């Protein structure tokens, strides 16, 4: 690889290179999540194949599922990217060229890579694939961005530790697309480069096996004795989650080309809700920057899916001790995903829904759909497919008929209030 980019003077001045509209990039741990992410407004999704990615515990995609996902996304004008972001040992590279060619043949638009060996192999053997530099490379300065541009990469995914001012500086100096994490889990290690998982469980974080050891509970000990205060709870090393829904204008004005949401292991409800909120915020700002106002329902929508405390990461300041979670880290989200709408009869006002968690008549629920469609109602009488009355929907994936106060559409979601 060429090293001529290091230390060169800025080449790019004047108008910043950027996509016409910021891309909203969503995670998809399986095919169903891909379809919901796209349906709820994602411009692109990133997935994992069955090799070379850092989420080996996700369902991940076969080549057949990739082709189906690409075809579905294309109907919405959306793209599919594949994470091939491991740091490879020599044995990991066996078959990588064939794998990348299969991705190209499946219609994948880009791979996300960290290892230079995978970058060069893709450029040589699958030239139709764009190569986007993974956040695992910890890119935090414009010279590094320029280096990867010189190597032929059209996009760099910045380290989570990058500040808003640094992003502006990169965009002013380098003509390249910048992708930035704007929502989701943060790593306690620098850009995900962690060896705690290796140490505790022999599962390599940088080869896809992270056991999320930062979220375990720990005690502080000296000479085999605990030095914690009596009654003190064990602590975690877990960081608060990132949320930039209140700062979409800053991200756009800084020149961020792709708004990336973390969470390939998250639920359909989480992915759809978060995408839905950011989609509306981005569209509203792009339509009228001067008249833009943050809407509380976007913030509320994020809160209905979140289960950890939120902050703004490194964008405005270095997180301090208060930005970590020391007590029990997870709290139940106030709503639970209950059903997916599969059909609606406008004449009778009866919807058919597929059960995803138990619900019953008399329960307060919300129906939500793309673009901010949302209404609350109480579940009334309901029946199974054969018309037999039901007192509770308790069977996973069971099809149930019930009346709705307003029209609904296929792939709308029904969620129930928990507290």
Closest to 179 (Cα-Cα) out of 56, 83, 91, 72: 83
Whether 13 shows a pLDDT value over 60: the answer reads: no
Give percent above pLDDT 70 in the chain.
88
| Cβ atoms 61, 25 nearer than 8 A | no
Q: Which residues contact 231 (CB under 8 A, 6 or more apart)?
A: none
Average pLDDT over residues 274-296: 97
Higher pLDDT, 190 or 316: 316
| Average pLDDT score over residue span 201-205 | 71
Q: Beta strand pairing status for 241-243 and 238-239? A: unpaired
Assess contact for 95 and 52: CB atoms under 8 A: no
Least confident of 33-42, 212-221, 262-271, 280-289: 212-221
Query: Over the chain, what is the mean pLDDT?
Result: 88
Over residues 191-207, mean pLDDT: 70
Ranges of each domain in the chain: 23-191+238-325, 335-417
Residue 3 pLDDT grade (very low, low, confident, very high; cuts 50, 70, 90): very low
pTM for the complete prediction? 0.88
Among residues 401, 387, 321, which one has the least CA distance to residue 355? 401
Mean of pLDDT values over 78-86 = 94
pLDDT number for residue 199: 75
Same fold, 23-191+238-325 and 335-417: no
Predicted pLDDT of residue 328: 61
Instruction: For residue 210, give both structure tokens.
Output: 């992270």
Question: Residues 85-111: what's their mean pLDDT?
Answer: 93
% of the chain at pLDDT higher than 90:
69
Q: How many CB atoms lie within 10 A of CB 209?
A: 17
For residue 114, name the pLDDT band (cuts at 50, 70, 90).
very high
Q: Would you say residue 7 has pLDDT above 50?
A: no
In this model, does residue 379 exceed pLDDT 90?
Answer: yes
- Looking at 87-91, 246-250, 400-404, which range is the least confident one? 87-91
Q: Does residue 208 register a pLDDT over 70?
A: no
For residue 11, what pLDDT is reported? 33
Pick the closest to residue 71 from 41, 31, 113 (CA basis).
Answer: 31
CATH of domain 335-417: 2.40.30.10
Q: Is the pLDDT of residue 332 over 80?
A: no
Rounded to the nearest 10°, the torsion over CA 226, 228, 234, 236 is -100
First to last CA, the chain: 56
Q: Each residue of 26-60: pLDDT tens digit?
A: 999 999 999 999 999 999 999 999 777 655 555 68
What is the per-residue pLDDT for 57? 52
Give yes or no for residue 110 having a pLDDT over 70. yes
Tokens encoding 237 = 């090393």
pLDDT of 221 reads 74
Q: Is 260 exposed, middle or buried (CB count within 10 Å of its CB: 0-12, 13-18, 19+)?
A: buried
23-191+238-325 — its CATH code?
A: 3.20.20.70
State yes or no: pLDDT of 230 exceeds 80.
no
pLDDT-derived band at 206, boundaries 50, 70, 90: low
Arithmetic mean of pLDDT, 368-377: 96
User: Mean per-residue pLDDT for 328-335?
Assistant: 65
Q: Is the pLDDT of residue 155 over 70?
A: yes
- Rounded distance between C-alpha atoms, residue 185 and residue 163, angstroms: 17
Could you tell me the CA-to-CA distances from 336 to 273, 317, 355 in Å, in that order? 12, 33, 12
Mean pLDDT across the stretch 355-376?
Answer: 96
Per-residue confidence band for 19, with pLDDT thresholds at 50, 70 and 90 = low
């Amino acid at each position: 690889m060429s090293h001529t980019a290091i230390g060169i003077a800025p080449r790019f001045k004047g108008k910043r290179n950027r996509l016409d509209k910021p891309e909203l990039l969503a995670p998809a741990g399986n095919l169903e999540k891909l379809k919901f992410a796209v349906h709820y407004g994602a411009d692109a999704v990133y997935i994992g194949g069955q090799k070379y990615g850092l989420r080996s515990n996700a369902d991940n995609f076969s080549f057949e599922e990739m082709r189906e996902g690409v075809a579905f996304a294309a109907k919405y004008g959306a793209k599919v990217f594949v994470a091939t972001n491991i740091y490879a040992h020599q044995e990991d590279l066996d078959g990588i060229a064939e794998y990348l060619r299969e991705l190209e043949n499946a219609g994948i638009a880009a791979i996300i890579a960290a290892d230079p060996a995978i970058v060069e192999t893709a450029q040589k053997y699958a030239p139709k694939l764009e190569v986007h530099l993974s956040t695992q490379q910890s890119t935090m300065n414009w010279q590094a961005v320029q280096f990867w541009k010189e190597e032929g990469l059209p996009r760099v995914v910045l380290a989570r530790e990058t500040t808003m001012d640094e992003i502006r500086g990169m965009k002013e100096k380098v003509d390249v697309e910048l992708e930035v994490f704007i929502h989701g889990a943060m790593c306690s290690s620098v850009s995900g480069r962690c060896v705690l998982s290796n140490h505790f469980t022999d599962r390599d974080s940088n080869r896809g096996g992270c056991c999320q050891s930062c979220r375990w509970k720990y005690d502080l000990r000296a000479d085999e004795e605990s030095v914690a205060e009596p009654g003190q709870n064990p602590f975690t090393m877990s960081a608060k989650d990132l949320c930039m829904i209140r700062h979409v204008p800053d991200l756009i004005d800084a020149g961020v080309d792709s708004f990336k949401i973390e969470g390939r292991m998250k639920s359909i409800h989480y992915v759809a809700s978060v995408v839905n909120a950011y989609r509306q915020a981005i569209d509203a700002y792009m339509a009228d920057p001067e008249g833009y106002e943050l809407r509380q329902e976007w913030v509320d929508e994020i809160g209905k899916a979140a289960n950890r405390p939120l902050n703004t990461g490194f964008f405005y300041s270095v997180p301090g001790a208060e930005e970590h979670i020391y007590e029990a880290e997870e709290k139940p989200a106030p709503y639970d995903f209950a059903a997916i709408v599969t059909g609606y009869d406008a004449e009778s006002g009866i919807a058919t829904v597929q059960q995803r968690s138990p619900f019953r008549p008399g329960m307060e629920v919300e129906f939500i759909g793309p673009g901010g469609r949302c209404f609350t109602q109480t579940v009334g009488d309901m029946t199974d497919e054969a018309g037999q009355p039901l007192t509770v929907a308790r069977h996973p994936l069971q099809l149930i008929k019930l009346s709705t106060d307003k029209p609904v559409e296929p792939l709308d979601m029904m969620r129930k209030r928990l507290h």
